[in-house]
Structure 1
Amino acid sequence: MTETPAVFTSDPAALRAIGWPVTDDAGPETWRAAIAARPDARPARVVEQHRTGYIVVDGPDEPFSVESLGDWLRPPGYREGRTDPTDRPGVGDWLLVEGDRRHAKAVVLLPRTSAIKRGAAGEHYRQQLIAANIDVAFVVCGLDGDFNPRRIERYLLLVQGGGVEPVVVLTKADKGDPDEATTILRAAVGAQLAVVAVNAKDAASVAQLDPWLGAGRTAVLVGSSGAGKSTLTNTLLGLEKMKTSAVREHDSRGRHTTTHRTLIPLPQGGCLIDTPGMRELKPTGEEDVTDTFADIEALAAECRFRDCKHEKEPGCAVRAAVQAGTLDPQRLANFRKLSEEVAGAANRLATRRQQKAESKVQVKSLNKRLDEKYGKH
């Protein structure tokens, strides 16, 4: 058995600065076959996504553009606009590219190690990729009118559903009490949740996030507009790269100063993806609610009936915890709400997949009949 060669034009340290995993210079096991099959290609990471192509980096040099992936890599239905947008590369994805920087072409999309998605707005089921190949998600929340444990639960559902470690970052300490907010949040969401309170404008305070930002690691910032994500990014970088703006006084809402997702190498050794503020957080149907509500699931195991709905059934341990004051009734209400949303999205996802499978069978059948009538060409 021959070893898979690691064919890189950049040295491993340069790749780790843009998030290449530190465990192995050749990358995760799932990438090695693709790398070995393309000995003339080199890895590059998507830092910006546009309609006609991608902006990528392959080390410390300036970003460059690559052509969109060829038709042979596009799933069936791409030209007709039926392909799920998450099937296309997005910010954080790793590509194998060929050619020099002036004529670079993407030839392979490497499998994702993790991905944060949400259900796109609108009546029809669609997924929207937020970021790919992420190690940690900083859920940024201001201690002004932005502080909302129930919305943080929703972020945690999407983040943990993508296989990403969550860390809640509380900003704007001058607008509230960080210790009190941390206590409220852990009581409402879970005692094991990592919560860090920072002054987003102070480098020494923001340095508390450095343990999550080492070489080869990728973090993503998510949160509402005006929560302080761009300010946090500027402080981590040590320069004013991202535009910032003040929030409205009456509701603490901010403008979308970040208008698109972008990946930025950090002096701490890792890299960061900043995202526009998200006001609608719809689940995709692929999330596991038990990841975010492990405390309720543990209580549910003590219920008298295995299929207990935690409503009027006798012997319900969940309602008993609410009555005893050890479980926040609003957390239980949000658990029910999110469980229903995830179940509904899962049903729509199953229907969509069934329709795509049936369409594929019909296309194959049609092609077979055409081949039989006119011969293969």
Structure 2
Amino acid sequence: MWNGSARSRPWARRRPARRSSARKPSALPWRAATVARPSGRRHPPSPKHAVARPSLRFPASSAPHWRGMMPRLAEIGWNDFFEQAWERDFAGSGLIPARIASSLRGAFVLWTENDGDIEAPARPKLVRNPATKVCTGDWVALRLQPPVVEDVLPRRTKVARKASGSDTVEQVLGANVDVLFLVQGLDRDFNIRRLERYMTIAWDSGAQPVVVLNKADLCNDLDARMAEANEVAGGAPVIPTSAASGEGVDALLAFLTPGKTAALIGSSGVGKSKLTNRLAGGAVRDVGAVREADGRGRHTTVGRELIRTPQGWLLMDLPGIREVQPSGGSGVEQTFPDVEELIAQCRFSNCSHGSEPGCAIQEALETGALERSRYENYGKVQAELAVLEQKKDARLQGEAKRQMRKIHHDQRNRPRNR
């Protein structure tokens, strides 16, 4: 009679005898020098791979600790904000903080405590997922053996827009920027409505915006352009410059101190690369020619790269932007405070600003207190953001439905215990 025991079931698989827990000491010298890792491969690397990067490997007793790197990290933007995030999320993890200086062939060039450049790939979640995708300026948690970016620290600021040609994806142009220079050319590039959109991106970023009116030496009505820019700058400084002669460069340098990160954003041909060379005190960027017909330039800057200057601050020259569409709405109120104030004065809270009685917008348009093109640009930005939010909601709902279908599918196909 079958009693359920293994003896009565000759086909049953017998469990092997338990081995002793005592392990023999390894005779391989590279095992003892391997730094313990809280997460990663179960077995240590082979001797062939253990010496693949000798300059980046060191025994556990001499492994650097990030606290000893504070003076050098501060030179590349480290501050109390990132220190608190590191203590909270990565203390004791065996990782070190590093900052992304640029991307190269699917990998990233990172700055660490020794002022050297380390090239390392990132985990797939930090490259493929738009919500967690790392970019130039990010502070990351780096594993040295082998070099790989494991995670990203919270961003203090981010310069972002809606990705060109995409419905809902946000494109982060640069992270952890302290001062954002919005560059407009005073030859044929000057467009006050475009500057309003740049201001929306700047206020939404969290960085300090500074409006730069470059090529002032080519402008015959500088005072009028300055007045127009001040009307839409929302209190941000407006500085005329000439990258060709160096005029106004000292005024821009006044916003920069050692350890701070500045970025230049603007259309192609406004002189960002030449202005970058002026600010950095040397030829760090190639300069392209500008077409005489329309004043437009080519995309001389095609990548995002952090540049260390002799003065001790960092500079990020962003590629020229053709499509300026904000990805968030928090900067609209600071860019259009006059329009927001007039809307609050309308008699009806749901006023469409058409033919309703007591509409403060219509009254301001009729009297000239509000420029019609400014109000129309405000309406376009609000409409774009509303459509973007609707598409985001639809995408999130679709992702949630797909996730639920996957869960139900897995549950139906799960083997049942008999």
Partner residue of 2:100? 46
User: Does the residue aligned with 1:146 lie in a helix, a strand or coil?
Assistant: coil
Give the whole-Å Cα distance in 2 for the aligned partners of 1:15 and 1:202. Answer: 34
1:295–1:267 CA distance, 2 compared to 1 (3 A): farther
Give the whole-Å Cα distance in 2 for the aligned partners of 1:190 and 1:140. Answer: 12
Q: What are the superposed Cα offsets for residues 71-122 of structure 1, whole Å, 9 maximum, x if unpaired?
A: 5xx28xx8xx6x32x521111111111216xx42212211112212221222
1:123–1:230 CA distance, 2 compared to 1 (3 A): closer
Question: Please, what TM-score do these two structures have when normalized by structure 2?
Answer: 0.78
Partner residue of 1:27? 82
Partner residue of 2:69? 11
Question: Please, what TM-score do these two structures have when normalized by structure 1?
Answer: 0.86
1:366 paired with 2:391, answer: no
1:105–1:123 CA distance, 2 compared to 1 (3 A): closer
1:90 paired with 2:132, answer: no
Equivalent of 2:91 in 36, 44, 61:
36
What is the identity percentage for the equivalent residue pairs of Structure 1 and Structure 2?
36
Equivalent of 1:238 in 266, 272, 281:
281
One-letter amino acid matched to 1:45: R
Superposed displacement of residue 134, structure 1: 1.6
Equivalent of 2:380 in 326, 337, 354:
337
Superposed displacement of residue 64, structure 1: 2.1
Partner residue of 1:305? 348
Partner residue of 1:3? none
Q: Do the aligned residues in 1 keep the contact of 2:200 with 2:332 (CA within 8 Å)?
A: yes
Question: Which segments of 5 or more consecutive residues in structure 1 lack a partner in the other structure?
Answer: 1-5
User: Does the residue aligned with 2:212 lie in a helix, a strand or coil?
Assistant: strand
User: Does the residue aligned with 1:291 lie in a helix, a strand or coil?
Assistant: helix
Give the whole-Å Cα distance in 2 for the aligned partners of 1:178 and 1:31. Answer: 47
Q: Do the aligned residues in 2 keep the contact of 1:142 with 1:170 (CA within 8 Å)?
A: yes
User: Does the residue aligned with 1:247 lie in a helix, a strand or coil?
Assistant: coil
Q: Let me know the Cα RMSD of the aligned residues.
A: 2.4
Q: Do the aligned residues in 2 keep the contact of 1:31 with 1:111 (CA within 8 Å)?
A: no
One-letter amino acid matched to 2:138: D
1:222 paired with 2:261, answer: no
Partner residue of 1:67? 121
Between Structure 1 and Structure 2, whose CA radius of gyration is higher? 2
Q: Do the aligned residues in 1 keep the contact of 2:108 with 2:119 (CA within 8 Å)?
A: yes
Give the whole-Å Cα distance in 2 for the aligned partners of 1:334 and 1:143. Answer: 21
1:162 paired with 2:205, answer: yes
Q: Do the aligned residues in 2 keep the contact of 1:17 with 1:59 (CA within 8 Å)?
A: no
Greater relative contact order structure (CA < 8 Å, 6+ sep): 1
Equivalent of 2:149 in 90, 94, 106:
106
Q: Do the aligned residues in 1 keep the contact of 2:180 with 2:208 (CA within 8 Å)?
A: yes
The count of residues paired between Structure 1 and Structure 2 equals 353
Give the whole-Å Cα distance in 1 for the aligned partners of 2:260 and 2:412. Answer: 51
Give the whole-Å Cα distance in 2 for the aligned partners of 1:10 and 1:253. Answer: 48
Question: Which segments of 5 or more consecutive residues in structure 2 lack a partner in the other structure?
Answer: 1-63
Q: Do the aligned residues in 1 keep the contact of 2:111 with 2:117 (CA within 8 Å)?
A: yes
